[in-house]
């Protein structure tokens, strides 16, 4: 009696590539970033936009996972385009592009819903990694320059009466969730937070999710902005 052949295990389907839209009014920047990203096996550039209005139209048409959005564009700024895009589609992630790490508009772009920002002189590896981080639902918050921007503009807001009193725990959050929020604002990763609080990584992930839901925030970047603007974290307190 012959043994029936064992059915072959079907191959695991490859994950869909991260769909990216590049929005910049400079053709060389658009094409350069597109070429760099298209060399990555897990990233696909699905379109390019020449200004903010074009970006919104392409987002609606192409439904990209990540948008590389220049801050300064004609017709409609990257800030306003980011605000409209994230308001109309909660799934889209925006990574704003800027020439200078102290661009005064970066902070407003983060407040508008961007998940982080990247300098235009970033290397190919930095660019691809940034896209992957943002596409995964995380925020590109770890770089020191991002924390410095958030802290600096929160300080300016405080000078004009915009910040709340220091140390006030948000009523919606538990004491442990507040601790996690402070560490997020200081640019700590989930693993670093778990190590500092001596808890499991999954526990931290759960806390982060609850913080975002309770405060009505999109991601870790907005959580950090909230922490600074509420006075929970003071400029200069981040390591």
Each residue's pLDDT tens digit, 144-158: 555 565 656 556 655
Q: How far is 24 from 32, CA to CA, in rounded Å?
A: 11
- pTM of the predicted model as reported, rounded to 2 decimal places: 0.69
Confidence of residue 139 (pLDDT cuts 50, 70, 90): low
- For tokens 């699905």, the residue is 46
| Residue spans in the chain of domains classed CATH 1.10.10.10 | 164-229
Fold of 18-140: Rossmann fold (3.40.50)
Mean pLDDT of the region 215-232? 80
**CATH code for the structural domain at 164-229:** 1.10.10.10
Which of 230, 133, 150 is CA-nearest to residue 187? 150
Residue 56's pLDDT is: 94
| pLDDT for residue 114 | 85
Q: Following CA atoms 213, 238, 187, 173 in sequence, which dihedral angle do they give, to the nearest 10 degrees?
A: -20
Percentage of the chain with pLDDT > 90?
28
Average pLDDT for 17-31: 92
Residue 194: Cβ within 10 Å count: 20
Neighbours of 21 (CB within 10 A): 26
CA-to-CA distance for 95 and 206, rounded, in angstroms?
25
Map residue 70 onto helix, strand or coil.
Answer: strand
pLDDT higher than threshold 90 for residue 163: no
Take residue 208 and report the two structure tokens written for it. Answer: 């982060």
- Please state, rounded to an integer, the average pLDDT across all residues of the chain: 79
Residue 169 corresponds to which tokens in the numbers above? 């725990």
Of the listed ranges 35-49, 124-138, 147-161, 204-218, the one predicted with least confidence? 147-161
Is the pLDDT reported for residue 179 higher than 60?
A: yes
62 compared with 89, residue with greater pLDDT: 62
Per-residue tokens: 110: 């983060």
Confidence at residue 142, expressed as pLDDT on a 0 to 100 scale: 45
24 class by beta-carbon count within 10 Å (0-12 exposed, 13-18 middle, 19+ buried): buried
For residue 136, name the pLDDT band (cuts at 50, 70, 90).
Answer: confident
Helix segments in 26-123, DSSP class H = 27-38, 52-62, 78-88, 106-111
Residues of the chain with CATH 3.40.50.2300: 18-140
Highest mean pLDDT (candidates 103-107, 111-115, 175-179, 188-192): 175-179
pLDDT over 60 at 126, yes or no: yes
pLDDT digits (tens, 9 = 90+) for 75-95: 888 889 999 998 887 788 999
pLDDT for the residue numbered 41: 92
Determine how β-strand 18-23 pairs with β-strand 93-98.
Answer: unpaired
At residue 206, what are phi and psi to the nearest 5 degrees? Answer: -65, -45
Q: Three-state DSSP class for 69?
A: strand
Over range 51-77, report the average pLDDT. 91
Q: What is the pLDDT of residue 90?
A: 74
The pLDDT value given to residue 164: 43
Which helix (H) or strand (E) covers residue 155, if one does?
Answer: helix 144-159
Q: How many CB atoms lie within 10 A of CB 134?
A: 26
């Amino acid at each position: 009696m012959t043994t029936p052949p064992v059915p072959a295990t079907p191959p695991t389907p490859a994950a869909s590539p991260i769909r990216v839209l590049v929005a910049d009014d400079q053709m060389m920047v658009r094409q350069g970033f597109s070429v760099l990203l298209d060399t990555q096996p897990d990233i696909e550039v699905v379109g390019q936009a020449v200004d903010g209005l074009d970006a919104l139209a392409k987002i609606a048409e192409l439904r990209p996972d990540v948008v590389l959005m220049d801050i300064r564009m004609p017709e409609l700024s990257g800030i306003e385009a980011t605000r409209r895009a994230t308001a109309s589609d909660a799934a889209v992630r925006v990574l704003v592009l800027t020439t200078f790490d102290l661009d005064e508009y970066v902070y407003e772009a983060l407040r508008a819903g961007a998940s982080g920002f990247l300098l235009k002189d970033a290397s190919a590896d930095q660019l691809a990694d940034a896209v992957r981080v943002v596409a995964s639902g995380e925020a590109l918050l770890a770089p020191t320059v991002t924390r410095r921007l958030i802290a600096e503009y929160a300080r300016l807001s405080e000078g004009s009466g915009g910040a709340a009193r220091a140390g006030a725990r948000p009523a919606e959050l538990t004491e442990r969730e507040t601790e996690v929020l402070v560490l997020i604002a200081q640019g700590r990763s989930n693993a670093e937070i778990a190590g500092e609080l001596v808890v499991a990584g999954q526990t931290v992930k759960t806390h982060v999710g609850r913080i975002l839901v309770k405060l009505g925030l999109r991601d870790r970047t907005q959580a950090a902005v909230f922490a600074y603007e509420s006075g929970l974290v003071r400029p200069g307190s981040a390591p």
